[in-house]
Amino acid sequence: MFDKHKNQEGGEMVEERNQGEEKIEPISNSSNQIGIGELMGKRAKLEEAIDYVGLMIKNLKDKRTLLEKDVEEEAVDIKNLKEKLHKVSEYIDEENKGIEELANKRKQVENEADEVGSIINNLREKLSGVDRVIDEEGVKVRKIKESRESLSE
């Protein structure tokens, strides 16, 4: 790319080519004396530096964009994990409630089993009482029979 620059003193034009190094061709000796050539060289180096800084800025923007994308992906992943953990927590709460209900039902069944055991023990005692009464009555009946037999003989 060719840039044309007008020499301040003589109105002459200088051509320069933007490639790795700037080549400045001075047109007149008087322009070198006042430092126009050096000034043009500095300007060319500044333009290169500005281009380099622009490239660095573009690279930084690209990196920031990639980081933003990575952060957003991580945020989505974390949100999904948080939702899954919330569901797991709800499941654990439901299971704990289920276990508590089962424990209460088991306790009720144990209480009923204890009641049944008490009823059985009471019935055994009553049956034992009835059995004693029957045994006693049986003994009385035998005695009466024996006394009748002894009287009838």
d(CA 145, CA 141): 6
Q: Residue 153: pLDDT band by 50, 70, 90 thresholds?
A: low
Q: 51 vs 20, 30, 44, 119, CA distance in Å?
A: 12, 31, 10, 100
Q: Residue 112: pLDDT band by 50, 70, 90 thresholds?
A: very high
d(CA 123, CA 146): 33
Q: Does residue 50 have a pLDDT over 80?
A: yes
d(CA 127, CA 130): 5
Model pLDDT for residues 7-20, shown as the tens digit of each residue: 444 444 444 444 44
Model pLDDT for residues 70-107, shown as the tens digit of each residue: 999 999 999 999 999 999 999 999 999 999 999 999 99
CB distance 14 to 24 below 8 Å: yes
Q: Residue 33: pLDDT band by 50, 70, 90 thresholds?
A: low
Q: Which two tokens mark 125? A: 């005692």
Q: Residue 31: pLDDT band by 50, 70, 90 thresholds?
A: low
Domain positions in the chain are: 2-152
